[in-house]
A and B are shown apart, each in its own frame.
Chain A
Amino acid sequence: MLRLLARRASVQFPLLVAVVAVVAVGTTLLGVCALLLTRSADQALTEGMARATAPEVAVTAYLADVPAAKADSVAGDTRALLTRTLAPFQATSATRASSAVRLLGDRTGAARPDEPRKLAYLSGIDGLQSRARLTAGRWPRSTGAAPIEAVVLQPTARVLDLAVGSRVRLGTEITSRTDAVTVVIVGIFQPLPNSGWDRDPLAATGYDPAYLDGSPNPAIAYGPFVVDLSDLFASGSTIDRLQVTTQPQLARPTGPELDAVAATLGTANAQLRKLLGDRAKFSRVASDLPVTFALARAQQAVTRSTVLVVVLIGTVLTAAALGLAGRLVVALRATETALLSELGASRGQLAAATASEAIILSAIAAVLAVPLSSLTHAALTHLPALADAGLATSPSVTGAQLMAVGVGAVLLAGVLVIPALRRDPEPTTGRSRLGLLTRSGADLLLLALAAIGWWQLRTQPAAQAGTDTVRVLAPVLCLLAGAALAPRLVMLPLRAGDSLARRSRGVVLALAAFEAARRPRAIAAALLLSLAAATGTFGLAFGATWQQSQQDQADARVGTDLALALTVPPTIGQGSVVGTATGGAVSPVTDRGVVIGRYFGTAGAPPRLVAVDTTRAGLLLRGRIPGTSWSQVGAGLAPKTPAGGVPIPVGGDSALTITGTSTGASRLQAVPRLVLEDRSGLRTSCEATAVRLDGRSHPLHLCSPVREAWRVVAISLQVNFDPPGQVGAGESRLTVSVTLPAGPNPGTGTWPSRSVGNDPWRLGNVATAIHSTPTSTVVTTTANVNTDELQPTLPVEVVSTAFAAPSAVPVAVSDRLADEVGAVVGGRLTVTVGGIAVPMVISQRVPTVPSAPGEVAMLADVDALSRALISAGALEPAVDAWWVGQPSTPGAAAATTALGLGEVDTRAGVHQELSRGPLRVGLPAALDLLVPAAVLLLLVGTIMHVTSEVEARALEMARLRGLGLRRRSILGGLLAQHGGVLVLLLSAGAVVGAVASWAVAPLLIRSDLGARPEPGAVLQWPWPAEVGLLAGLLIGGTVAVTLVIAVQLRRADAAHLRVGA
């Protein structure tokens, strides 16, 4: 038998080489995908976790109320536990501790009985040098003896008048009797941003004039006095807060290792409580590591699902090519098989011979596929996209790869054998084959399955975890069903051609048309060619749609080109700093959860309010918005008139004064607050010290020097008794004038003013007038105060603004918000922003609000919102972020991050992470393989089919020559036949690919977490690539057909007549 196989192989060498090539292409594709799904996926997980930021993987234990005597052991035990929890990863720990507050100075902490108490606290921080910057002196050292060395923040030093060398006595703790501690100041420092100072009891502000420690009256708190951690633990201080943060070194984490750590972390809380017992009143272990890991796993699963689609399509395509090869082999051997049967060979023996040959061929292909897939995978991972994602790898062989190649080869060998097992392996007429397919209804069954798959895909839940069977199978079914229907589509023009040919006079094109329309054995080839063309078309469209969706998701997620989410309070002039760092259009942004009427949103997802400078919406806002533009949306949101205000020239802060008078029996004072607007549109308030309304001019100090042209857009006066605590009688008429140095266009007239706060009726006849002189501008506010009702703890407040209070802030609401609350355009909402109820009117409805994709959200103008809030007495800026449109400075993101103002996200960065991140890049890589594989299989299939076809017709060609047809006419006829069929099949395949892309591609795309993408994916047509693909297929196919026919035709000579006449 082997001798028979060997001899037969030597004769049919070209076809068998083609079969081996097809199996090798298919199994190589499987091998590469197996490597992508295993080795690269593991590497992607490793790389993704290694790229996680420190906060995303840190494990922190928070403890409170640790007795002084046990503080050291508690810290040590906690560190050890966290380190054990993170095993096998190496980890470093950092401890931060703050003592309970102590009385500052003497026994009461207050200089006089009527003054508020003064409190202070100690802190110890590991790695202080990396979290702060010294401005004077040096860092504290552990002395082991009194006085303890300490450093303080600049504000603490300023308000306590401390300098290097100063000694400060911290008395007993207010909740327990402890020994006093004396510290010597050895340095003064500034905190560095994002260094964990938010965990400081005073958030690194240095002091708090209204510190609430549980007593009825607020105290003034100072601190921290930062000492060496060991000194803190030895100081006899109760540790009010103890924080141990352990940072794992995730250089090359494996999935199992991370799984183990995540599991251990789940029990860490209980372990810590058990370990510490009553040594700490409160303990908690918190970490984002399990969530980070779960997110990485989710991304891995999403990518795996989509790569599996590619694997399955590739496998089906290869199977189709092999099905064709099997039919051709069977056809080629029909005579031989019949002869062997007549000589007594049983079906079993023939099947065994065929199976043996198929296994040998598949084994050869598999042997080739292993190194080929390793090399292809290695080459693929060195493409820029994968290399940048850290996935570059050298060629290697893995078990999964061998398994995929082996199983693939066996399955494909089965496909090769199936045609040989048929009782009537090669019917003599095409009608019967086509009829068989039609009668069996296989294509209709496929169509039904595809329809079911598509419907399932459409109705899938928004979030789907893990590998999704429907998502894997549906596209393959759609493509296969379409490809099975393609021959039917192609038959329509072919039959029309046949009909025309009957009436024609010529012979060449007529024969081509007859052959094309009636030739048998073409179904397998038609299936392969149309499936390959459909796969190529689908692959390109899906790839483009996926890429565009990642861009859309990045646009919607960030909402602008560069977003800086503030972790520090917004300060005036900050916009200029951000603008200088980025070189783009800068806008302050409100981006926070709100309450709409009584609608609080769903758990953990309150309605979002995004307010931005909508006069520059086109520059600032990003995200798809069909049928309109962000500029048009923004135009309907911004106030129609500018806010106005009184300009303060640069350096003009030193010339500000305030003068006030009041009539009546009660003496009054006023606390002025000026709302300043900088060039970016940010409005911040600056509170000055209380001023007696005694008719004298008092200097008015701003919070910071005026370094650029600012404007005063509102003034608030909080009026109280002078001094507070008196009882009033009757009514007072107060007049307060704020004098500002003259700036450009100061304006005159009046400002709207109103009584705000509790019981606004206690103020009456409120009015504000502006007067300008060549040297100054005076803003004068007058009002009547009912001092009978004036309460020392409840002062009255008047706010004057350079703008009218908007009756309602116009907003554009997201589709989801409109659906959730039943909002309609023109409808009104009451939105609670920072405790202030702001009336809003719905001016538009948008699919989604920038930075809040798919959320219940609304978009407003930050100026309009600010006007509403300030008019209602909320002077603090409702600004949470800075958005930058079209940043032009190279490295804008890094420069903005270096400002230390908060977290920076860029649209480009998020897009890069979504499309080319280690956990995402597997899909485009697999698609990069699929399209060339489809092209290759199409060409191989075309060559196989045409070779077999022309070879089978060689005798017919020779006879046609015998009838007088010239060789070139025969060549022309064959080219017309095969070229025409190729064009039709490629066109039908392209149509199938297009329909499958339209029906399935957008539904296949998921967000990085497996949910439906927001905004929804929209099918993209990369026309140049699609046209290039089809042109390439056509040209490649035509060249292959021409070469094959030319070669085969040379053999169609008299020799055929001699042997086959």
Chain B
Amino acid sequence: MSDLPVAQPMLAVREVNRSFGSGATAVHALRDVSFEVATGTMVALVGRSGSGKTTLLNVVGGLERPDSGTVMVDGTEVTALDEDGLSRLRRETVAYIFQTFGLIPVLSAAENVGVPLRMSRTPTLERERRVALLLDLVGLADHAEQRPGELSGGQQQRVAIARALAASPRLLVADEPTGQLDAETGLSVMALLRGVVESEGVTALVSTHDPVMMALADRVVRISDGQVTP
């Protein structure tokens, strides 16, 4: 027996179930899913299309409520939060990176990165400094005024990563961040993500099919037909 406190995981998913529809046509997207992600690690969530990866990420981020089970993020029970609490969680603790980048087309790269900072009403000058820093971090300092339509896929995903980091989240949730990119670009994005996890000290849960990404992850959680498999 040790008296040392046990490190609290950044993410703890316990017995989570989520289904869509009802009766004979019901689809069980998640079945008794349980797993933990330690703080500062990068976990790859691996599974085939339709295996429940996106639903699991949505539940982790509080975008969907599970039918049963609990999700704890940084000690907060996400499944117990109300709408405002969930929004606050996503603003301050969890950041998303989407497969299709999720940038707002009418905003420039810098403006897209600044959106989370606007949500926290960061003063303008501070916001601009932080945005410049992050764009520099992802190597897009020279593309700050370009709109998403004027950037390549890899560049757009870099902007998305910068945006995700803008509010200094504790947990990065990335849904197949390289799914829309060619291999070379995907590799550079993965390297960036890995580097960010290490340099910023954030935790990352990344869904992917990509073996390279799996290789870069500290741990791999496999999911199949809504169940975590060994």
A residues whose Cβ falls under 8 Å from a Cβ of B: 428-430, 502-507, 510-511, 514-515, 518-519, 955-956, 958-967, 1053-1054, 1057-1058, 1060-1061
Contact = CB atoms under 8 A, between A and B. Distances in A.
Given A514-B107, A958-B63, 18 more contacts: A428-B149, A430-B106, A505-B124, A506-B121, A507-B115, A514-B111, A519-B106, A956-B105, A962-B61, A963-B95, A963-B115, A964-B90, A964-B119, A966-B83, A966-B84, A1057-B63, A1058-B55, A1061-B54
Interface stretch (B96-104, B132-140, B195-203): B96-104
A511 B176 contact: no
A511 B176 CA distance: 27
Given A428-B149, A503-B124, A505-B122, A963 B90 contact: yes
A964 B124 contact: no
B55 A965 contact: no
Interface of B: 54-55, 58, 61, 63-64, 83-84, 87-92, 95-96, 98-100, 102, 104-107, 111, 115-116, 118-119, 121-124, 127, 147, 149, 163, 167, 175-176
A964 B104 contact: no
A520 to B, nearest CB: 8
A967 B62 CA distance: 13
Given A510-B118, A963-B90, A1061-B100, A1054 B58 contact: yes
B104 A511 contact: yes
Given A505-B124, A506-B121, A510-B118, A965 B87 contact: yes
A1057 B98 contact: yes
Interface centre among A504, A505, A519 (most CB of B within 10 A): A505
Contacts of A1058: 54-55, 58
A503 B125 CA distance: 9
A960 B123 CA distance: 20
A72 B119 CA distance: 107
Contacts of B115: 507, 511, 960, 963
A962 B100 contact: no
B102 A959 contact: yes
A1061 B118 contact: no
Interface centre among B54, B104, B121, B149 (most CB of A within 10 A): B104
Contacts of A962: 61, 63, 90, 96, 98, 102
A430 B149 CA distance: 11
23 contacts: A429-B147, A429-B149, A503-B124, A504-B118, A505-B122, A505-B124, A515-B106, A518-B106, A956-B102, A959-B102, A960-B104, A961-B87, A962-B96, A962-B98, A962-B102, A964-B89, A964-B116, A966-B83, A1053-B63, A1057-B54, A1057-B175, A1060-B100, A1061-B100
Given A963-B90, A966-B87, A1054 B102 contact: no
A1058 B29 CA distance: 11
Interface centre among A502, A504, A964, A967 (most CB of B within 10 A): A964
Contacts of B175: 1057, 1061
Contacts, number: 93
A513 to B, nearest CB: 10
Contact of B123 (A505, A955, A1054): A505
Contacts of B96: 959, 962-963
Contacts of A1060: 100
A935 B104 CA distance: 33
A113 B69 CA distance: 142
A518 B106 CA distance: 6
B119 A505 contact: no
A964 B92 contact: yes
B118 A506 contact: yes
A956 B61 contact: no
Contacts of A967: 83
A504 B106 contact: no
B116 A1057 contact: no
Contacts of A518: 106
A1058 B52 CA distance: 9
B124 A961 contact: no
Contacts of B116: 963-964
Contact of B98 (A430, A503, A505, A959): A959
Contacts of A503: 124
Interface centre among A430, A959, A967 (most CB of B within 10 A): A959
A653 B19 CA distance: 116
A1057 B174 CA distance: 12
A1057 B99 CA distance: 9
A818 to B, nearest CB: 64
Nearest to A515: B106
A964 to B, nearest CB: 3
Nearest to A1059: B54
The list of the 7 closest CB pairs from A to B, nearest first, reads A964-B91, A964-B90, A507-B118, A518-B106, A959-B102, A1054-B63, A1054-B58
Contacts of A507: 115, 118-119
Contacts of A515: 106
A981 to B, nearest CB: 13
A955 B96 CA distance: 14
A568 B88 CA distance: 95
Nearest to B99: A1061
Contacts of A955: 102
Contact of A514 (B106, B121, B122): B106
Contacts of B121: 505-506
Nearest to B166: A963
Contacts of A505: 118, 121-124, 127
A968 to B, nearest CB: 9
Nearest to A959: B102
Given A503-B124, A964-B87, A965-B87, A1061 B106 contact: no
Contacts of B102: 955-956, 959, 962, 1061
A417 to B, nearest CB: 28
Given A959-B98, A1054-B58, A1061 B176 contact: yes
Nearest to A509: B118
Nearest to B107: A514
A1057 B58 contact: yes
A1 B167 CA distance: 51
A409 B31 CA distance: 55
Contacts of A506: 118, 121
Contacts of A963: 90-91, 95-96, 115-116, 119, 163
A511 B106 CA distance: 9
A397 B147 CA distance: 57
A430 B63 CA distance: 31
A746 to B, nearest CB: 96
Contacts of B58: 1054, 1057-1058
B208 to A, nearest CB: 13
A1061 B175 CA distance: 7
A1054 to B, nearest CB: 4
Contacts of B61: 962
A874 B102 CA distance: 100
Contacts of B83: 966-967
A89 B89 CA distance: 90
A688 B106 CA distance: 102
Nearest to B119: A507
B174 to A, nearest CB: 10
Contacts of B98: 959, 962, 1057, 1061
Contacts of B90: 961-964
Nearest to A519: B106
Nearest to B147: A429
A8 to B, nearest CB: 24
B90 to A, nearest CB: 4
Contacts of B99: 1061
A122 B104 CA distance: 104
A955 B90 CA distance: 17
Nearest to A967: B83
A317 to B, nearest CB: 29
Nearest to B92: A964
A894 B45 CA distance: 96
Contacts of B123: 505
Contacts of B147: 429
A965 B88 CA distance: 8
